């Protein structure tokens, strides 16, 4: 039979490999995206989470991209907690 393995937990966030902060104006396809449906495979876009949704005054940029199968992922700073601030890391 096949050997069994012990399940291990995976981190819940993806840490950035860069020490530079996210600059939405420099990211690929830095547009608001199409809110009417899925973005499609191999797309990226930045949305602004506004203050009425818990973002910073002026908005918190959120970077999304899709894989070859069209599965949507959000790239977050390692300090992200879903709060306000430019990195989403100011939580109460």
Q: What tens digit of pLDDT does each residue of 30-84 get?
A: 444 445 567 889 999 999 999 999 999 999 999 999 999 999 999 999 999 989 9
What's the rounded Cα separation, in Å, for the pair 44 and 49?
16
- Total domains, the chain: 1
Residue 80: inside a domain, yes or no?
Answer: no
Residue 4: inside a domain, yes or no?
Answer: no
CA dihedral 77, 78, 83, 87 (to 10 degrees): -30
- pTM comes to 0.56
Residue 85: inside a domain, yes or no?
Answer: no
Residue 47: inside a domain, yes or no?
Answer: yes
Q: Which domain holds residue 40?
A: 24-75
Residue 5: inside a domain, yes or no?
Answer: no
């Amino acid at each position: 039979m096949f050997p069994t393995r012990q399940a291990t937990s995976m981190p819940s966030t993806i840490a950035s490999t860069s020490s530079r902060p996210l600059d939405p104006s420099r990211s690929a396809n830095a547009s608001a995206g199409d809110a009417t449906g899925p973005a499609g495979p191999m797309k990226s876009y930045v949305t602004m989470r506004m203050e009425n949704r818990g973002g910073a005054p002026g908005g918190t940029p959120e970077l999304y991209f899709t894989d070859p199968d069209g599965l949507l992922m959000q790239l977050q700073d390692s300090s992200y907690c879903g709060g306000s601030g430019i990195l989403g890391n100011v939580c109460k």
